[in-house]
Structure 1
Amino acid sequence: MNDGKAGSFVGAWQSSMKIHEVMAENRIRFAQRLNEMSDELASLAKEVDKNRKQTKELASRYERALQESELNMEKSKNRLEVSSEELERVLLQKEGESLKDGGLQAKNQGGVAGKRALGKAVAKGGLLLKGKNPGNIQRQEDDVRTRVSNASDSYRKALTDTQAMRQEYFNFQLPRILRALKECADEIDLGTQYHLTRYAFLFESIVLSDGSTLVPVGPEDGVGLKSTIESIDNRADFKVYMQNYAYARGGAAPRGPRREGPAEEGFLPPLPTHGGGAHSAVHVNAPIGNGHNAQIPDKGRPTFGVDLAEQMARDNVELPAILEKCCVAIEKHGLRSQGIYRISGMARKVASLKERLDKDIDSVNLDSEEWISDINNVTSVLKMWFRELPDPLLTSTLHQGFVEAAKIENDRLRHIRLHERVNDLPDPNYATLKYFLGHLHKIAEYEADNSMSIQNLAIVFGQTLFGQIIPGNGSFSGHGNGGIADAPFQNKAIETILDHYSDIFVDEAEVGA
C-alpha cells in the first residue's frame, strides 16, 4: 500500500532493491558466460565428431580394399588349384593311353605290373579322355598348361598386391588412423578441461561478487544488505506517521481514557492489569495469600458460567484470562506431573480457587506455594471452567457435525472433515481451542514423564469440550448435547484434532502470515 511506504523503511527497501539488482546483473553476466562456454563446447564437439567420422570412413575404405584384395587372391588361388588338378588328370590319362598302346609288346615283360599301372592311371584320370586319340590329348594338354600358367601368374600378382596392401595398411595407415582418433579424444578432453577450469573461475568470481555486495569490505563499497535492513527504525517511522496523522486531523481532541496525567475532575484511576502476581488493583486491606475468601473483594467480573465471547469482549482480550493464567502455571509446574489432568484436586481447594478467580482473577498468584504444591487443583479448576460455559467450547450447533466427522473410518478424510468443522467455529471459540490444544499438545510431548498421551488427553477432554454430563464426580455441564453413545466419537474427534494440531492450526497460521 502506498500509505505504508514512508520513513526509514522506504530508504532500506530501495537500497535492498538496488543490492538485489547488482546481484542480478552479476548473475546475468555469469549466465552469459555459461552460455558462451556451452556454445564453444558444442562447436568443439561438432568439429571433433566430424573429424572422427572422416577418420572412421577412411579406415573403413582401407579395410574394404584389403578385404577385396584378399578375396581376389583367394579366388586366383582356387583357379590355379582347379587348373593344376585338370592338368594332372590330362597327364595321367595320357600316360594311361601310352601304356595301352605298348601293352602287347610288354606283355611278357610287364605282365601283371603293367595291368596294375594301367588300372591305377585309369582310376586317377577317370574316363574323361576315353576313346580319344593321342592328338586330341596333346592339344588338350597344351590348352590346360596355358590356363595353368595364366592362373599362376594371376595368383602371383594378387598375392604380391595383397601383401603390399596389408603391409601398407598395418604399418602406415592403421597407426595414422589411430593417432588421428587419439587426437580427437585429446582435443575434446583438453577443451572440456579448459572450460571446466573457466567455469570454476567464473563461479568463484560470482560468489565473491555476491559476498562483497551483501557484506562490503570497506565503506567506499557501499552498505550491505544486513546493514540496510537493520537501518529500519520502526519506532521513528511510527512516530513520524502519527505526527503526520495528527497534523492531518487538524489537532482534534483525543478520544478514550488517558493512562496518566490529571483529568478535569481530578486523577483517573490506573487501568487494571492481567497476569499472575499483579496486585496493583487489589484493595490494600484485602489479604492475597492465606486467609478467608470472604475478605476478597468482588470486582464484578465473574469468570465461571459466563459466555466465552462475552468474557473476551468484556475484558478486551484475545484469549480468556483464566485460560492463559492456568495454562501458564500448569506448563511451568506440572508438565512432568504424573497423571496431569487425569487426577482431580482436593474438593475444598478447588472450590476455594474457583471462588477467588471468580471474584478477582488478577489477585490470584498461581505461582505461590499454595497452588504449586498440588497443581491438580489448578487443572481441576480449568476443567470446571470449560464445563460451566453456557455454550460448550465446540458449540451445541456444531456438535453433530463434529460427531459425524469423527465417525469416518478413513484417517485422512476424518482429518479433513474435522479441520472443516474447526474452521466453522466462531472466532472466540477458535482462538480458545487453538491455544488450549497447543497447551495439551505440549503436555503430550512429556508423555514419558506424565503418562498422558494424546489418546489419554482426548478421553479426559472429549466430553468436557463437547459439554457432556460427567457422571461420577458430582459436576454437570447441563448442555445436553447427544448422549453417552456419542462419547467415543467425541473422544475420537479431540484425539484426531490433537494428533494433527500442526496441520490444522500451526501451518494454517503460517500460511495466513
Structure 2
Amino acid sequence: MPEDSAALLDQNNIQEILNSDSSLDILLTRLKQSITTGEEFAKYIKKKAQIEDEHFTQLKKFAMQTKANFKTHQGKLKNDSFSNKLEAIISLDEKLHDVGNPYVKALTVMYDELSSLIATVSRSRKLIKDEAKKKEKDLGDACLAADKAKQKYYHLCDDLEKLKTSDPNKKSFSLKNKSVEQQEDDLSKKVDSADQDYKMKSTASKKLRDEVLVIHRPNNSKKLKNLILEMDIAMNVQLQKYATWEENLIMNSGVTISPIQSNKPSIKALANAIDNEKDLYDYLVRSERSVAPNKTLIPVEYVLHPSLAKNQRISKPFLNTSAPKNNHTNVAAAFNSKSHIIMLALGLGDSGTEAKSPSFYSSLDPASQSNTPELKGPKVLKTQISQPTFGVSIEDVIQYAGQDNVPYVVKKCFETIERYGLDLEGIYRTSGNKAAVQQLKDSIDQNFTNYLLIGSNIDGTNVHDADIVCVASLVKLYFASLPEPLLTNEYHQSFIETVKSLDETFIAKKLHHLVFNLPDGAYFTLRALIFHLNRVAEHQSSNRMTAKSLAIIWGPVILNDNSMNPQDLSYKSKVVEELMLIANEIFDPDE
C-alpha cells in the first residue's frame, strides 16, 4: 500500500468514525462487501478454469482425431504440400493444449486459495461480530437497568416530597393504618435504598461504557479494518496473478503460432508455403505409370473378309511417299493441339494470342519449358467479380457480406442509428436526401466493403440530423429492394391472416411458428430489425416514434407486395406491432 494512502486512515475524521457507535456496523458491512466480491471473483475463476480446460482438452482431442482420420483415409485424401501443411497447422492445436494446461492449473490453485481466504475471513468476521455485539448488549442492558433505577428513585423522591408538603391537619390513611410520620419514615428508607441502587447501576453502566470505548471498540475496529485490508490486498494479489497468467497464455499462444526463432515456421508461413501447381504436377507425374490406353475406346479397323478378298485383283500397290508423311504430320499436330489445350487449362498458355503452330510438349515438368512462368503459391485472380448488396437475396448476400446471418449493411445502419439517432424526432418518418442515399447505395453495390462508409462522416460531438436520416432511408431502401419480401412470399399471406384473429394467444403462437420456419437469413435479419425497432420505441418521449408509428412505416416494407389497399396496410402494420410486442418470447434475448 502506498505511504500516502496508508496515512489517509489515520486522519482525525476517520478515527472519529472508527470510534463512533456506528463503527461496528459500518466496518462489518464493508467486510461483507469484500467477502461477497471475493466469492464472485472465485466463481469467475472457477468457471473460467472449467471452460478453458474443456476448450484445450477438446482442441487436442479433435486435433488428434483429425490427424488419425488423415491416416485412415490416406488413399482418399490429397497427398501433397497442402495436406502436409494442414497437418502441421492442426498439430499446433496440440501444442496450444500444452500452453493452456499450466494456465488451467494456475486458475484452479487461485480458486482454492480464494475459497480458503474467504472461509477464514468469514469465520473471523463472525467471531468479532459476536464478541462486539455481546459487549454492546451488556452495555445496553446496564444502561437500561440504570435508567429504570433512576425512574424508581425519582418516583420515590416525588412521593416523599408530596408527603412532606401535604397538610398535617388532614388525616392520611394507608393500607396498614400507619401515621404520616411512619409513612414518611418508610418512604425515606425506600428513597435511600433506591438511591444506592441507582448510584450502583449508573456507575456500572459508565464502567461498561468506558470499557467499550477504550478497549473493546478500538480493538474490534482495528481487527475489522485489518481484516478488510487483508481481504482486499489478497484479492488484489490474486487479480495480479490472474493478469500475469492471462498475459502468459496469450503470449505463449502467439509464440506457438508465430515463433520468434527464424528456423521454426509460423502458421502463416506454413499456409503460404503451399504450391498448388507443383502439387498438381507431382500428382500427374505419379500417375504417369498408371496411364494405359482404354481398349474399349480403340476403333475397329475395317478388314475385308478373306472369302471376298480372293475375288479381288492381286496387284502391287503404288508407292506413295506423301501419305505416310501427311499421316504422321496430322497425328503430331493433333497431339500437340491436345497438349496446347492442356497447357491453357493449367494456365500455362498464352491467352492473349491465338494458337500458332504448337510446339511438342516433351515433359510434364513445367520448369522444363523456357516460357513457363514461375509457379509459386496460389495465383490471384486478375478480374474482380461484382457482388452487389442491394436487390440481392439475403441468403446470397450473407454468404459474402454478412455476419451472424445478417447483412453487413443492415447491422451497420442499425448500429449507427442506435449510437447517434435514437433521440432524433421522426426517425424513419423523415426521408433522406435521394442523391446522397443513391450515392451510398451505388458505392456499396460496387464493393460490399464500402458498408464501412455508413456513418463514417458523423461527428459524435456535432451530429447532423440529415446524416442520420440518410442512414435510415438507406436501410429502408435495402429492405424495399429485396427480390423477395423479408417475410418471404411463401409465408406472406399467413402472417396477414394470423393477425386478423382476435385471440392474442393464438396470434403469438402462430407468429412464433411462422417466424421459426423462415430461412436463416430472413430469421436473423428480422430478429435484428425487431429488436432495433424496440430500442427506437424506448426513446419515444424524445423521438415521437411509438411502436405503432414504427409499425405503420415498416409493415409495408417487410411485407412488400405492392398492394396499397388500406386494409392490407393496416394488417401489415399490425404484424410488425405484434412482433415487437412478443420479440423476447419468439427470439433469443438480444445481448
TM-score w.r.t. the length of structure 2 is 0.39
Structure with higher Rg: it is 1
Instruction: Determine which structure has greater relative contact order: mean sequence separation of CA pairs < 8 Å that are 6+ residues apart, divided by chain length.
Output: 1
With normalisation by structure 1, the TM-score equals 0.44
